[in-house]
């Protein structure tokens, strides 16, 4: 797990109080395809799978790093392959472990959970929890990329904003963001809840549940999975990565 600090407080909104203060928290669960030495034998011969979109989210971490700098937001990221353990799935989910790790004995699976899954989820959760309890509105952007072709069909989405449409504050944040993105970059296809549904099992989904129960006030936690088409960011020059990051950080969200 990597943690990159930046300014934590909201931008130029020091005069505001309570829920008016927004703080961005960025995460990147699928930032790399590293397998720790102790587990490499399980992946022998699987180098191609690890390099593919199944092993990681190509390009996502570089965009997340650029956004972190532009927004002055902290970034939590992992560069361990999702094929060891899937940080974006809950304990007990059938995709938490992959075909490489799913048949390990229970004790070994528990060890992987304790060493890789729990520290990541706990540290991010504790950080957001502190901010929410200090009265901030947290806007959590979980940065991902997706493969441009799925089961032989090209996906039309350029950028997908995944959220829970039943949560009005989250929906309104994303609808405004989507409108601005479409206006700024008419060539891109910006979708809500595509290519995946925002309410499917994931880190943001579990955090919504937790903070809605704890805070009993809507709006203290906004969780959005940002899914970027890999065609736009991988492989690509630094300039392209920065321009996607700049597009995502344009005025609307930077002034939140």
Applying CB under 5 A, which part among 27-35, 134-142, 153-161, 237-245 lies near Zn ion? 27-35
Applying CB under 5 A, which part among 35-43, 65-73, 138-146, 191-199 lies near Zn ion? 138-146
User: Under the criterion CB under 5 A, does residue 129 sit at the interface with Zn ion?
Assistant: no
Taking Cα atoms as reference points, which of 157, 252, 166 lies closest to residue 205? 166
User: Under the criterion CB under 5 A, does residue 144 sit at the interface with Zn ion?
Assistant: yes
Encode the chain in three state secondary structure.
CEEECCCCCCCCCCCCCHHHCEEEEEEECCCCCECCHHHHHHHCCCHHHHHCCCCCCCCHHHHHHHHHHHHCCEEEECCECCCCCCCCCCCCCCCCCCCCCCCCCHHHHHHHHHHHHHHHHHHHHHHHHHHHHCCCEEEEEEEEEECCEECCEECCCCEEEECCCCCHHHHHHHHHHHHHHHHHCCCCCEEECCCCCCCCCCHHHHHHHHHHHHHCCCCCEEEEEEEEEHHHHCCCCHHHHHHHHHHHCCHHHHCC
Applying CB under 5 A, which part among 22-30, 37-45, 93-101, 147-155 lies near Zn ion? 22-30
Nearer to Zn ion, 21 or 144 (CB): 144
Could you say which of 22, 26, 28, 30 contacts Zn ion (CB under 5 A)? 30
User: Under the criterion CB under 5 A, does residue 86 sit at the interface with Zn ion?
Assistant: no
Cβ-closest residue to Zn ion?
144
CB of 143 to Zn ion, least distance (A): 8
CB of 60 to Zn ion, least distance (A): 6
Nearer to Zn ion, 72 or 148 (CB): 148
CB of 32 to Zn ion, least distance (A): 11
CB of 82 to Zn ion, least distance (A): 7
Applying CB under 5 A, which part among 99-107, 137-145, 161-169, 189-197 lies near Zn ion? 137-145
Taking Cα atoms as reference points, which of 14, 223, 256, 8 lies closest to residue 127? 8
Applying CB under 5 A, which part among 30-38, 124-132, 203-211, 246-254 lies near Zn ion? 30-38
Strand 221-229 to strand 159-162: parallel, antiparallel, or no bridges (unpaired)?
antiparallel
Nearer to Zn ion, 57 or 65 (CB): 57
Total binding residues toward Zn ion, as defined by CB under 5 A: 3
Could you say which of 57, 86, 129, 170 contacts Zn ion (CB under 5 A)? 57
Point out which residues bind Zn ion (CB under 5 A). Answer: 30, 57, 144
């Amino acid at each position: 797990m990597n943690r990159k600090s930046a300014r934590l407080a909201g931008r130029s909104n020091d005069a505001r109080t309570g829920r008016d203060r927004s703080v961005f928290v960025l995460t990147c669960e699928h930032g790399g395809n590293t397998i720790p030495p102790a587990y490499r034998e399980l992946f022998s011969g699987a180098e191609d799978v690890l390099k593919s979109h199944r092993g990681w989210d190509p390009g996502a971490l570089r965009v997340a790093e650029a956004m972190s700098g532009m927004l002055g937001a902290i970034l939590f990221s992992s560069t361990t392959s999702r094929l060891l353990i899937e940080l974006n799935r809950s304990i007990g989910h059938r995709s938490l472990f992959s075909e490489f790790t799913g048949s390990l004995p229970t004790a070994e699976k528990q060890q992987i959970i304790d060493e890789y899954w729990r520290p990541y989820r706990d540290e991010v959760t504790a950080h957001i929890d502190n901010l929410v309890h200090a009265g901030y509105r947290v806007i959590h952007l979980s940065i991902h990329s997706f493969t441009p072709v799925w089961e032989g069909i090209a996906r039309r989405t350029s950028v997908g904003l995944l959220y829970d449409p039943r949560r009005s504050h989250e929906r309104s944040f994303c609808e405004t963001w989507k409108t601005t993105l479409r206006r700024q970059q008419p060539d891109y296809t910006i979708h809500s809840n595509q290519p995946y549904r925002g309410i499917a099992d994931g880190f943001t989904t579990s955090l919504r549940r937790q903070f809605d129960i704890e805070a009993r006030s809507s709006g203290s936690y906004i969780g959005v999975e940002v899914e970027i088409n890999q065609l736009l960011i991988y492989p690509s020059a630094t300039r392209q990565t920065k321009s996607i990051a700049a597009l995502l950080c344009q005025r609307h969200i930077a002034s939140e």
